[in-house]
């Protein structure tokens, strides 16, 4: 079968970690419902670095395809994912590095143990209107919020502020970015309706003081779940007020930390603060580099920090273009970015 196998007639598995694209597949795969690209063995959690970079070679039409799973890949963008897939509803990335979302089709999208450099390309038309198809991030780092200006940023905010549920996004941003992110939350609404805050405020009324001396509350919440402690408080006559506005809470289905926020977006997040966050991330690293290269003093300090933090090798090339640059040969920003991509030899020398 070569680098792929077709299992159960409707399941296509790409198994070779050395492939860079999908050339070699049959021209027609009319019955394929599920596509998986991975070098891992069956039921294994051990990462296998993949060389896969492009969907070139995928059939032009995949009329039955519903889901794509990609493992351990370094994806620059999804511009080669051009097949007609009318039933596709979800792409999930496991342990992947995503540089941007250019070319992404209109689907739900999820990340597990992954890294996102930029949300560029993830436009409003890529958001499926169904709540279960929103973007979700599980133990996934994001290094920039550039590109979220045309999507509903609340979905990402909910993932970021979750700490004890299945959603958990990790913001690898500059200090200013973290500050603006945290400012988006209305503290009064959060304190009133967040089940995690409810537990933290009230658990001392039920548990003895010795409990808090011998165990970490946060660790215990991670082990048992927020809903476990909410039930304990309810049983002791301390009712969770969030039930008033979250209809599903009474069924105890999915009551984990910030999931409750899906029904509170308009009141939980402060629109003006979200506007400030989006404005801060409006320019791409490329735009920041071009502005800095032309006039270094025109770029505010916090945007220079963004440039250094989010720059990639292509950004560095822009800054090092002597023909169009007004920068000195020892510019400190260029030097800091260069050191991000330095290679340390076995004898300790650094190659820039």
Q: Name the β-bridge partners of 74.
A: 97
How far is Cα 139 from Cα 135, in angstroms, rounded to an integer? 13
Q: Name the β-bridge partners of 171.
A: 142
pLDDT of residue 312: 92
pLDDT of residue 151: 65
What is the pLDDT averaged over residues 59-72?
95
- Hey, what are 189's tokens? 């609404």
**Which of 61-65, 129-133, 177-181, 216-220 is predicted least confidently?**
129-133
3-state secondary structure of 72: coil
pLDDT of residue 20: 94
pLDDT of residue 131: 41
pLDDT of residue 238: 92
What is the pLDDT averaged over residues 109-133?
72
Percent of the chain exceeding pLDDT 70 equals 84
pLDDT of residue 302: 97
Domain boundaries, the chain: 4-151, 190-265, 283-351
Say what the pTM is.
0.85
How far is Cα 13 from Cα 3, in angstroms, rounded to an integer? 9
pLDDT surpassing 60 at residue 33: yes
pLDDT, greater one: 196 or 181: 181
How far is Cα 163 from Cα 160, in angstroms, rounded to an integer? 8
Instruction: Give the model confidence (pLDDT) of 250-301 as tens digits.
Output: 444 545 567 666 666 678 889 899 999 999 999 999 999 999 999 999 999 9
Looking at mean pLDDT, say which of 149-153, 197-201, 334-338 comes out highest: 334-338
Closest to 67 (Cα-Cα) out of 41, 85, 42, 40: 85
Rounded-to-5 percentages of helix, strand, coil across the chain:
40, 15, 45
Q: What is the DSSP letter of 107?
A: S
Place 115 in a pLDDT band, splitting at 50, 70 and 90.
very high
- Hey, what are 272's tokens? 């003006």
How far is Cα 119 from Cα 144, in angstroms, rounded to an integer? 8
- Hey, what are 93's tokens? 């990335």
């Amino acid at each position: 079968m070569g680098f792929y196998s077709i299992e159960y007639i409707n399941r296509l598995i790409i198994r070779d970690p050395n492939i860079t694209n999908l050339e070699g597949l049959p021209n027609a795969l009319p019955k394929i419902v599920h596509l998986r690209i991975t070098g891992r063995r069956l039921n294994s959690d051990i990462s296998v670095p993949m060389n896969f970079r492009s969907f070139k070679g995928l059939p032009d039409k995949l009329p039955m395809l519903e889901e794509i799973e990609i493992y351990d890949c370094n994806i620059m963008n999804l511009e080669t994912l051009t097949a007609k897939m009318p039933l596709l509803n979800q792409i999930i990335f496991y342990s992947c590095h995503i540089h941007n979302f250019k070319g992404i089709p209109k689907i739900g999208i999820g990340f597990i143990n992954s890294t996102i450099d930029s949300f560029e390309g993830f436009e409003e038309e890529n958001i499926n209107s169904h709540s279960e198809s929103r973007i979700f991030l599980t133990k996934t780092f994001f290094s920039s919020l550039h590109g979220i200006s045309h999507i509903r940023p609340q979905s990402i905010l909910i993932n970021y502020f979750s700490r004890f549920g299945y959603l958990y996004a990790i913001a690898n941003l500059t200090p200013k970015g973290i500050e603006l992110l945290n400012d988006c939350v209305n503290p009064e609404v959060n304190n009133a309706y967040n089940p995690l805050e409810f537990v933290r405020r009230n658990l001392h009324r039920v548990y003895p003081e010795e409990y808090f001396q011998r165990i970490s509350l946060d660790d215990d919440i991670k082990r048992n779940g927020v809903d476990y402690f909410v039930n304990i408080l309810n049983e002791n006559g301390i009712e969770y007020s969030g039930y008033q506005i979250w209809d599903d809470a009474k069924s105890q289905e999915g009551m984990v930390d910030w999931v409750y926020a899906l029904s509170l977006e308009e009141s939980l997040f402060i629109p003006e603060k979200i506007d400030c966050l989006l404005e801060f991330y409006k320019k791409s690293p490329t735009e920041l580099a071009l502005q800095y290269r032309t006039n270094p003093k025109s770029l505010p300090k916090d945007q220079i920090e963004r440039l250094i933090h989010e720059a990639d090798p292509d950004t560095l090339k822009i800054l090092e273009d002597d023909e169009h640059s007004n920068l000195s040969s020892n510019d400190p920003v260029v030097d800091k970015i260069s050191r991000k991509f330095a290679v340390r030899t076995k004898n300790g020398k650094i190659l820039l």
